[in-house]
Chain A
Amino acid sequence: MTGLAYTVTPNWLSRHLGFWPVVTALAFVALVALLVLPVINIVGLSLSGKDDQPGVLANYITFFAERFYYQTLINSLIVSSAATILAVLLGVPAAYFATIYNIWGRGFVRAAVVLTFVSPPFIGSYSWVILFGRSGLVTATLAEIGIPLPSIYGAPGIVLVFTLQFFPFVFLMVSSGLKSIDQSIEDAARNLGSSELSVFFTVLLPLLVPSISAGALLVFVAAFTDIGTPIIIGERFRVLPVLIYGEFVNEFGGRPVLASTLAVLLLAVTTGALLVQRWYAGRHAHGTAAIRPLMQREQPPLKRLLASAYVLLLVGMALLPIINIVISSFLKANGPLLLFEPTLDNYIRLLRTVAVPLTNTLLYTTAATVLCAVVGTAVGYIIVRRPGRLGGLLDGVVMFSYAVPGIVLGVGLIVTYNEPPLILTGTAAILILAFFIRRLPFSVRSAVSMLQQLSRDTEDASINLGAGPGRTFLRITVPLLAMAILSGVLLTWSNTIRELSATLVLQSGSTITLSVEIFTEVVNANFGTASALGTILILLTFLPLVVLFRFLGKQEDALV
């Protein structure tokens, strides 16, 4: 027995099969089990539906023949593209100013940018209506002094909310990209007489293409698959995910074939966006190692003021829903409505019930984040450093996880793991694994983005000096990537902690999380309680940041 156990240890395998092939194989097993199989099963289930359902092709024909349907695809493309372009236009300068300029409130900006995209689910979208709806707080106040605001409803409102909600993706990616550019590159350009503007456009921007496009892809996919915002403020402007969601919440079984058709279209677009980004970033990949990262520069007062104002205004706008949630959590409730009377009632009401969802949320999020960091870094390495057919396939499968809406993945996991040989439904494990697989692309992306800019000289030196590939990875690559891994952990934590759509179908009551509690309270119109839960969630997202800042001391800038 011991002999057998010994023979299958990773050491034995890596000696006989090689470290990376084994890691690659393990990654494939995890991806097939958690992503491919559930999706195949859900599509299979949907196709095995009723006899009177028309075939798959017939649904495509219906989709492209009926304006009601195909218009949602066009609408989705319009708002997602618009939000992506705006997020890049707003986010890149913000990241540049926050990194290079000595703007005021840098610490606040960095913290706030992370907070903006961790706005609690559902209630965050609803906050925009509370503030900017037809009878919204801001709308009504401004109307009283004679300033009419345009409606938040419809396409412009969705684009505005998406842009403010998702530009932090670009900000984080570009900030992290700027850190990997060596000061000598900028110095050389400046010494040759280039102005700041021309250095930015001709030197820095090309080096930032992988980061910008990675951020843009995140914005596009997040906007393209988002449900909460368009459900609440879309009105007649319908987008594709809302149609799919509609089929899943359909009380009468829905139309599974139509739902799967819609899901396939959604997948096609997100996968297409991914391929475009990979092709584009690949063409612009540069190997640079930042021995001496870009320095922060003192700016003349006016420039400093304008740059600070720009960044603070942008971040301030994006923070509005969070401010609204925090304030609402301290307001007295009159039935479903909140009064302007401060109170702690909402929190006191929570004391009774919050322990279980709170513990669950912390536990599952931490477990999934650790899994993501370990697997994500290894997979990122395989994709960049060991390109080839398997690496490409691995990349494709990981990124496929972006494109699978949470609710589809959730139902798929139930169908797959509700029966022997492996029963996972109702357990904490199925939630952790769902969190893990949903957020793996984020960890992989950030590792890939960094590795593409990291010269492999040091690794080659290590291999040449006789260290094995496993040892080189752990001793050389991982430390070099520490910042990227940390930033990936941050993204994973803050996104996982608010995961809602898959959790809704996978939680079993005893595995309830904070985001599900928030959702339930919003749906029941208990905005006070929902806001109090939301505030707790915001704090939880912020806590690891504070710890990391302290722990990392001066290197805190590198986080964002």
Chain B
Amino acid sequence: MMKSIGALVLAGALSAIASTSAVAQNHEKQLVVYASHPSEMVDYFIKDFGDKNGVKVTTVKAGTGELLNRIRAERGRPAGDIMWGGFSDTGSSTPDLFDVYRSPGLANVQPKMIDPSGYNTPFGASTMVIMYNKKLVTADQAPKTWADLAKPEWKGKVVHADPSKASSALGALTTWLQIYGKGEPAWKLVEDMTRNMNIVLRSSLVFQQVGRGEYPVGVTYEEGAFNYVLAGTAGIVYPADGTLLQPEGMFIVKGGPNPRAARLFADYLLTSGAQTDLATKFPGRRPTLNGVTTHAEMLAPDKFKVIEYDENWAAQNRKQILDRMQQVIIRTQ
């Protein structure tokens, strides 16, 4: 095991050298990263990247929405190079803000994780789960499927983020719609589920409130819930009706001040060194590189039901879905 990891790291280091050499010719010595991911993870990779490449990295940490609005406001004179956060299609849906970049490292990435439009650098994957507080709900009582959340017994006991404010929540919504046929019956189910829910503005409030025991059950991304699983207060249900497993976002800002350093950073995140660190040091995230295994205590991806997520449908119908969901929230909240 150690040996194979060692070999992987070595291979990663070699491929890192190979891929960096393509863009390394006098890359800028500075980089500005806008990040909405947890600060410990962001700090770690930025320091590691900076040390290895002699780049002084500055970070701005905020929510994805705030950062996107900021990039939009700075469009005339971009100050950031990287948007590290958001959903896999954030880049392709706002092509006026981001540039296409296909890192050489993509060659080793699981094909399902690759953004066909070329905007995203898929450094990690995330899945949506049901999280429950162990003090308030036993594993037996916990909902088994998404559809269970519509049952009367969960009225007022489920916390979920607003899909128009949090990309993870939109991912869950589009998953539910796809599982149940995208039509009226699916929307009926979503409305019944939403009636039981308290909708909050920040996705991080979901796992924090369930982890602290303020709510019995929440809909959240795996990484948020998994930290409370490790801390012993929460459990995860991988819904039996299926969930999505989608890459997380990392995009290069159009016209940013340090484009070559930005591409170097994208290449770095796809090295097996960085990917192994992601799996071992930041439990809850799933690496995307072939051959890098997930954290030992996380359920392997073939052990739970992953749906064939129709990204094009979700991206093309996003506005209608969000508008209709807004109507559902207006009616039920």
Binding site for B on A (CB under 8 A): 66-69, 129-130, 133-135, 231-232, 235-236, 238, 242, 245-246, 248-254, 334-337, 353, 411, 414-415, 418-419, 423, 425-426, 504-505, 507-510, 512, 516, 520-521, 523-526
Is the CB–CB distance between A411 and B228 below 8 Å? no
21 CB < 8 A contacts A-B: A135-B212, A231-B200, A242-B201, A249-B65, A250-B164, A250-B165, A251-B65, A335-B228, A335-B231, A336-B208, A337-B212, A411-B70, A411-B73, A414-B70, A418-B74, A425-B79, A508-B32, A509-B32, A509-B59, A524-B38, A525-B204
Is the CB–CB distance between B40 and A251 below 8 Å? no
Output the residue of A335, A415, A423 with the most chain B CB within 10 A. A335
Minimum distance in angstroms from B253 CB to a CB of chain A: 14
Is the CB–CB distance between B61 and A135 below 8 Å? no
Instruction: Write out the residue numbers on chain B whose beta carbons fall within 8 Å of the beta carbon of A254.
Output: 65, 69, 164
Is the CB–CB distance between B204 and A524 below 8 Å? yes
Q: Does B188 contact A (CB under 8 A)?
A: no
Is the CB–CB distance between A251 and B205 below 8 Å? no
Is the CB–CB distance between A525 and B76 below 8 Å? no
Is the CB–CB distance between A68 and B329 below 8 Å? yes
Q: Does B51 contact A (CB under 8 A)?
A: no
Is the CB–CB distance between A249 and B60 below 8 Å? no
Instruction: Write out the residue numbers on chain A whose beta carbons fall within 8 Å of the beta carbon of B224.
Output: 525
Instruction: Write out the residue numbers on chain A whose beta carbons fall within 8 Å of the beta carbon of B70.
Output: 411, 414, 505
CA distance A390 to B146 in the complex (A): 62
Instruction: Write out the residue numbers on chain B whose beta carbons fall within 8 Å of the beta carbon of A67.
Output: 330
Instruction: Write out the residue numbers on chain B whose beta carbons fall within 8 Å of the beta carbon of A419.
Output: 76-77
Is the CB–CB distance between A251 and B64 below 8 Å? yes
Q: Give the size category of B's interface with A.
A: 35 or more
- Knowing A134-B213, A135-B212, the reply to whether A414 touches B60 (Cβ < 8 A) is no
Instruction: Write out the residue numbers on chain B whose beta carbons fall within 8 Å of the beta carbon of A334.
Output: 231-232
Is the CB–CB distance between A133 and B212 below 8 Å? yes
Is the CB–CB distance between A235 and B198 below 8 Å? yes
Nearest 8 Cβ contacts at the A-B interface: A135-B213, A509-B58, A249-B65, A335-B231, A68-B330, A251-B65, A414-B73, A509-B60
B202-222 interface with A by 8 A CB criterion: 202, 204-205, 207-209, 211-215
Q: Select B63's contact among A68, A249, A335, A411, beta carbons within 8 Å.
A: A249
CA distance A135 to B322 in the complex (A): 33
Is the CB–CB distance between B201 and A231 below 8 Å? yes
Instruction: Write out the residue numbers on chain B whose beta carbons fall within 8 Å of the beta carbon of A426.
Output: 79
Output the residue of A252, A253, A337, A508 with the most chain B CB within 10 A. A252
B37-80 interface with A by 8 A CB criterion: 38-40, 43, 58-66, 68-70, 72-74, 76-77, 79
CA distance A407 to B252 in the complex (A): 25
Q: Select B211's contact among A336, A418, A510, beta carbons within 8 Å.
A: A336
Is the CB–CB distance between A251 and B166 below 8 Å? yes
Minimum distance in angstroms from A530 CB to a CB of chain B: 10
Minimum distance in angstroms from B115 CB to a CB of chain A: 17
Nearest opposing residue in chain A for B133, CB measure:
A135
Q: Does B318 contact A (CB under 8 A)?
A: yes
Q: Does B333 contact A (CB under 8 A)?
A: yes
- Knowing A236-B198, A524-B38, the reply to whether A251 touches B135 (Cβ < 8 A) is no
Is the CB–CB distance between B79 and A520 below 8 Å? no
Is the CB–CB distance between A252 and B73 below 8 Å? no
B93-110 interface with A by 8 A CB criterion: 93-94
Is the CB–CB distance between B66 and A248 below 8 Å? yes
Instruction: Write out the residue numbers on chain B whose beta carbons fall within 8 Å of the beta carbon of A249.
Output: 63, 65-66, 69, 165, 201-202
Minimum distance in angstroms from B326 CB to a CB of chain A: 9
Instruction: Write out the residue numbers on chain A whose beta carbons fall within 8 Å of the beta carbon of B178.
Output: none
CA distance A353 to B44 in the complex (A): 12
Is the CB–CB distance between B76 and A246 below 8 Å? no
CA distance A520 to B74 in the complex (A): 22
Q: For the A-B complex with A249-B202, A504-B62, A508-B58 known, give 8 more contacts whose Cβ atoms are closer than 8 Å.
A: A245-B201, A252-B170, A334-B232, A418-B77, A425-B77, A426-B79, A509-B59, A520-B39
Q: Does B86 contact A (CB under 8 A)?
A: yes
Instruction: Write out the residue numbers on chain B whose beta carbons fall within 8 Å of the beta carbon of A246.
Output: 162, 164-165, 201
Nearest opposing residue in chain B for A242, CB measure:
B201
Is the CB–CB distance between B74 and A251 below 8 Å? no
CA distance A248 to B72 in the complex (A): 12
Minimum distance in angstroms from A227 CB to a CB of chain B: 9
Nearest opposing residue in chain B for A334, CB measure:
B231
Instruction: Write out the residue numbers on chain B whose beta carbons fall within 8 Å of the beta carbon of A235.
Output: 198
Is the CB–CB distance between B135 and A510 below 8 Å? no
Minimum distance in angstroms from B119 CB to a CB of chain A: 15
Instruction: Write out the residue numbers on chain A whose beta carbons fall within 8 Å of the beta carbon of B61.
Output: 516, 520
Instruction: Write out the residue numbers on chain B whose beta carbons fall within 8 Å of the beta carbon of A251.
Output: 64-65, 68, 86-87, 90, 164-167, 170
Instruction: Write out the residue numbers on chain A whose beta carbons fall within 8 Å of the beta carbon of B38.
Output: 524
- Knowing A337-B211, A337-B228, the reply to whether A135 touches B135 (Cβ < 8 A) is yes
Instruction: Write out the residue numbers on chain B whose beta carbons fall within 8 Å of the beta carbon of A509.
Output: 32, 58-60
Instruction: Write out the residue numbers on chain B whose beta carbons fall within 8 Å of the beta carbon of A525.
Output: 204, 207-208, 211, 224, 227
Nearest opposing residue in chain A for B86, CB measure:
A251
Nearest opposing residue in chain A for B164, CB measure:
A250
Output the residue of B38, B70, B214 with the most chain A CB within 10 A. B214
Q: Does B10 contact A (CB under 8 A)?
A: no
Minimum distance in angstroms from B181 CB to a CB of chain A: 24
Q: Does B293 contact A (CB under 8 A)?
A: no
Is the CB–CB distance between B74 and A425 below 8 Å? yes
Nearest opposing residue in chain A for B33, CB measure:
A509
Binary contact readout B309-333 vs A (1 if CB under 8 angstroms, 0 otherwise): 0000000001000100000011001
Instruction: Write out the residue numbers on chain A whose beta carbons fall within 8 Å of the beta carbon of B62.
Output: 504-505, 520
CA distance A294 to B39 in the complex (A): 53
CA distance A252 to B166 in the complex (A): 9
Nearest opposing residue in chain A for B61, CB measure:
A520
Instruction: Write out the residue numbers on chain B whose beta carbons fall within 8 Å of the beta carbon of A337.
Output: 211-212, 228, 231, 233
Instruction: Write out the residue numbers on chain B whose beta carbons fall within 8 Å of the beta carbon of A353.
Output: 43
Instruction: Write out the residue numbers on chain B whose beta carbons fall within 8 Å of the beta carbon of A524.
Output: 38-40, 204
B144-203 interface with A by 8 A CB criterion: 162, 164-167, 170, 198, 200-202
Instruction: Write out the residue numbers on chain A whose beta carbons fall within 8 Å of the beta carbon of B333.
Output: 68, 236, 238
Minimum distance in angstroms from B41 CB to a CB of chain A: 9
CA distance A414 to B77 in the complex (A): 10
Is the CB–CB distance between B212 and A130 below 8 Å? yes
Instruction: Write out the residue numbers on chain A whose beta carbons fall within 8 Å of the beta carbon of B209.
Output: 129
Nearest opposing residue in chain B for A411, CB measure:
B73
Q: Does B14 contact A (CB under 8 A)?
A: no
Is the CB–CB distance between B77 and A523 below 8 Å? no
CA distance A416 to B214 in the complex (A): 42
Minimum distance in angstroms from A341 CB to a CB of chain B: 14
Q: Select B74's contact among A231, A414, A521, A526, beta carbons within 8 Å.
A: A414
Minimum distance in angstroms from A325 CB to a CB of chain B: 16
Instruction: Write out the residue numbers on chain B whose beta carbons fall within 8 Å of the beta carbon of A516.
Output: 61
CA distance A253 to B167 in the complex (A): 12
Q: Does B230 contact A (CB under 8 A)?
A: yes
- Knowing A418-B77, A425-B74, the reply to whether A336 touches B202 (Cβ < 8 A) is no
Instruction: Write out the residue numbers on chain A whose beta carbons fall within 8 Å of the beta carbon of B318.
Output: 252
Minimum distance in angstroms from B250 CB to a CB of chain A: 15
